[in-house]
Homo-oligomer: A and B are copies of this chain.
Amino acid sequence: MHNLPDLSIRQLEYLIAVAEENTWADASDAVGVTPSALSQGLAELERRVGVPLFDRVGRRRMLHPNAEILLDHARQVISLTSDLAKWSDRMRNADEGTIRIGMIDIAAVNYFQGVLKDFRNDHPSLNFHLKVSPSRPLVEALQGGQLDLIVCIEPEEKIKGIEIEPLLTETLSIYKPGGGPLGPPSEWGPWVLFPESSNTRKIISAALKERGSSVNVVADSPQPEVLKEMVNLGIGWTVLPNVQAEAGPRPLIPSSILGTRNLIVASRKNAAQSPAIISLLEALKEQLD
């Protein structure tokens, strides 16, 4: 490619200013520099273009006909740059661009419902995507680049290329049909729990075993509402985050705390975060105060 002259945005602005203002002094005022800077800048512009641009008429300077072409160029470049500046402003205000986030149900429905709603209201022209699903698919989508930020259960081990940050700790309680005291762990159950693939299921199984309960599972579902319903129907006992179990139209009554699980936010390590993502992340953390 040709070796292009490095005409700076500044120099082009100078040119437009002298074309629009009456005197170079006015022009230098208009662009906010000293007359000296303007004079030197335009001399440099003329040198770089390599074509005479200005005539001297008395002590005034006038645009040479040659300058018309360059002036036209300047206006085009400035216009493009101005559009770009507007775009980057909107990007910085998270009013433009795409935000693709993932959340597990409890985060989207219970903890951050309000944050999500407010965020969408505050940034109506932002291209917004929310995927609600269990932690594992979320992590995979994050790794695959389909999502930029997820809120999920803390994974058992570190995942390569993924950066996590703790968000909150939830209490998991035991719920039995009708509520009331539990009795000895050996007599607990049977259980209605999250599926085996679930991270929370692993936490629950481990905790139950540690307490001395067998983990006799008669039904499973990834949906907490389904588990609740089964407890209400007397099919079995369950373990759920308190927030989920005790909310909604037919809440369960907790019998005892079994343990905790941690919610985290995760993003690809070293991935550049758009302002929109940063903004949402801040809102998530703020919600917890």
Find chain B residues with CB under 8 A from A279 CB: none
Q: Please report the C-alpha to C-alpha distance between residue A84 and residue B15 in the assembled complex, in whole angstroms.
A: 15
User: Which B residues are CB-close (under 8 A) to A274?
Assistant: 51-52, 64, 66
The reply to whether the CB of A34 lies closer than 8 angstroms to some CB of chain B is no
Q: Which residues on the B side are within 8 Å of A268 (C-beta)?
A: 55
Interface hits, A1-43 → B, CB 8 Å: 1-2, 4-10, 13
Which B residues touch A9, using CB under 8 A? 4-8
Bound state CA distance, A80 and B53, in angstroms? 18
Q: A5's contact among B49, B64, B81, by CB below 8 Å, is which?
A: B81
**Is the interface on chain A under 10, 10 to 19, 20 to 34, or 35 or more residues?**
35 or more
In the bound complex, what is the Cα–Cα distance between A147 and B50 (angstroms)?
Answer: 22
**Min CB–CB distance A79 → chain B (angstroms):** 10
* Contact (A4, B81) CB under 8 Å given A50-B88, A51-B274, A56-B271: yes
Stretch from A68-76, A174-182, A227-235, A237-245 forming part of the interface with B:
A68-76
Neighbour of A82 across the interface among B2, B6, B13, B87, CB < 8 A: B2
A51 CB, nearest partner CB in chain B, Å:
5
Decide yes or no: A51 and B91 within 8 Å by CB, A7-B9, A8-B6, A66-B274 being known contacts: yes
Shortest beta-carbon distance from A109 to chain B in Å = 29
Q: Using A9-B5, A80-B76 as known contacts, say yes or no to A272 and B54 having CB atoms under 8 A apart.
A: yes
Are B52 and A92 touching (Cβ within 8 A)? no
List 19 other contacts, CB 8 Å, given A4-B82, A56-B270, A66-B97: A2-B82, A4-B78, A4-B85, A6-B9, A7-B9, A7-B84, A8-B8, A50-B88, A51-B88, A55-B270, A55-B271, A55-B272, A56-B269, A64-B272, A64-B274, A66-B91, A77-B77, A77-B80, A77-B81
